[in-house]
Amino acid sequence: MNDVTITLLFLAFTIILYVTEKIPLALTSMIVCIGLNLTGVLTIKEAFEGFVNGNVILFVAMFIVGGALFETGMASDIGGIITKFAKTEKQLIIAIMVIVGMLSGVLSNTGTAAVLIPVVVGVAAKSGFARSKLLMPLVFAAALGGNLSLIGAPGNMIANTALESVNMSFGFFEYAKIGLPMLIVAIIFYSTIGFKLLPNHKADEKELAYNENDEGIEKAKWKKIFSLVVMIFTIIAMIFEEKIGIKLQISACIGAIVLVLFKVISEEEAYNSIDTKTIFLFGGSLSLATALQKTGAGTVIADTIISRLGENPSPYILLLVILILSSVMTNFMSNTATTALLVPIGLSIATRINADPRAVLMAMVIGGSCAYATPIGMPANTMVINIGNYKFKDYVIAGGPLVIISIIISAILLPIFFPFY
């Protein structure tokens, strides 16, 4: 049995166990991680490199920074201010999605979610609304906001770099021609009929990260202010990552270290704020994405589907296939990995049928951003799975319709703004 077949079998195994949840998701991820090494598909380094991935470092640091807001009671104070203006769940969802979507256009999706998750949980605690109703729109908006600018998501830059090889490029806000309508429709959807699809879980407070500490409210006022100042400076450092030359993961780590060093939170409180379930789920699941890339299994899936279209496929059929293929793949691989995998194929397709490469790659990038239907579709989804007490099916039920809506909007707008011919 070759490596491609083994990887595809592990992919099927993962999908089945993620959907049925017969065993915990993090345990499934670790079984796949170890299995890919034991079968020789991945080396020990490749299998476990997900645990030293930059996003994992960001998770850990931001869990501590966010934890400080809770331990000091600042998150509750912020939540109280926000709930004075947005008094209903639907109003909060609109406010959250607008803020997160706009920020995600200039910050990384993961960075935006990491910064605002503790604030939103604070809002939920203060308002009495279920955090599970608010966190899922947050991560969806983070993904949607990534389509507002050239720097909104890594996949955008990957596609642009590929275009430069054929003397073309995307403008800075060109992605927003498709991304902004998608974000607006998503906000309307989840504040109306889609609201009923959002999970309404009563959190088991003892098991979830970012829980309000009753004693924290009574802590010194300077600690509250200090935790907020550190959060603000961390956000600023993330926004100006390129200008200051410091990676956002490092900025987050500096913030976490400062908080512990100045005893705003204790070392024990810092450790307790780290959601280890999220770390194991994310780190383990990255091994499958690595195997799909390394073995070429992902390319086999893409080539097989596209080759079925024949030599001169209808541009509309091709557009739909690209959107569906990339949106399905991105829910089991990272957005970046999906785009990196499909972009070379997209350029080849464009050359073969004499289509505009910009149109083909834009479709792949937009489809690759539709990672709403699984907890491993993008790092932000994984970050909230334990905090929101979510199950795999919650993502499918709440995020699946958004994938379909995004594909429909893209299928309408792409031929207008980016025609194939």
Give the chain's count of helices (H) and strands (E).
21, 0
CA angle centred on 346, ends 340 and 351, rounded to 5°: 140
d(CA 138, CA 118) in angstroms, rounded, equals 11
Measured CA to CA in angstroms, residue 113 lies from 45, 96, 276, 383, 394 at distances of 28, 11, 17, 8, 18
Residue pair 90/240 in contact by the 8 Å Cβ criterion? no
Please give the pLDDT value at position 344. 72
d(CA 105, CA 279) in angstroms, rounded, equals 25
Please give the pLDDT value at position 374. 92
Residue with tokens 């926000």: 82
Residue pair 18/25 in contact by the 8 Å Cβ criterion? yes
Please give the pLDDT value at position 215. 44
Residue pair 136/91 in contact by the 8 Å Cβ criterion? no
The per-residue DSSP string of 100-163 comes to HHHHHTTS-HHHHHHHHHHHHHHHHHHH---HHHHHHHHHHHHHHHTTSSTTSSHHHHHHHHHH
d(CA 302, CA 312) in angstroms, rounded, equals 17
Q: Of the candidates 208, 231, 218, which has an alpha carbon nearest to the alpha carbon of residue 69? A: 231
Please state the φ and ψ torsions of residue 139, each to the nearest 5 degrees: -70, -30
Q: Of the candidates 68, 53, 198, which has an alpha carbon nearest to the alpha carbon of residue 136? A: 198
Please give the pLDDT value at position 216. 42
Please give the pLDDT value at position 210. 56
Structure tokens at 222: 């300077």
Residue pair 410/210 in contact by the 8 Å Cβ criterion? no
Structure tokens at 253: 């780590």
Please give the pLDDT value at position 209. 54
Q: 1-27 b/e with 16+ CB inside 10 Å = b?
A: eebbebbbebbeebeebbeeeeeebbe
Measured CA to CA in angstroms, residue 272 lies from 63, 71, 383 at distances of 9, 11, 15
The per-residue DSSP string of 353-377 comes to HT--HHHHHHHHHHHHT---SSTTS
List the pLDDT tens digit at each of the 421 positions of the chain. 899 999 989 988 887 887 677 888 788 889 999 999 999 999 999 999 888 877 788 878 888 887 888 788 887 777 677 777 777 889 999 999 998 898 888 666 777 788 788 888 888 887 888 899 999 999 999 999 989 988 788 788 778 888 887 888 888 889 999 999 999 999 999 999 999 999 998 765 544 555 555 444 456 788 889 988 998 898 788 778 878 999 888 998 999 999 999 999 899 888 888 877 778 877 787 788 788 878 888 778 777 777 777 767 788 888 898 899 899 989 987 677 778 777 877 877 787 777 898 998 999 999 999 999 999 888 889 889 988 999 999 999 999 999 999 999 999 999 999 998 8
Residue 292: Cβ-neighbour burial (10 angstroms; 0-12, 13-18, 19+): buried
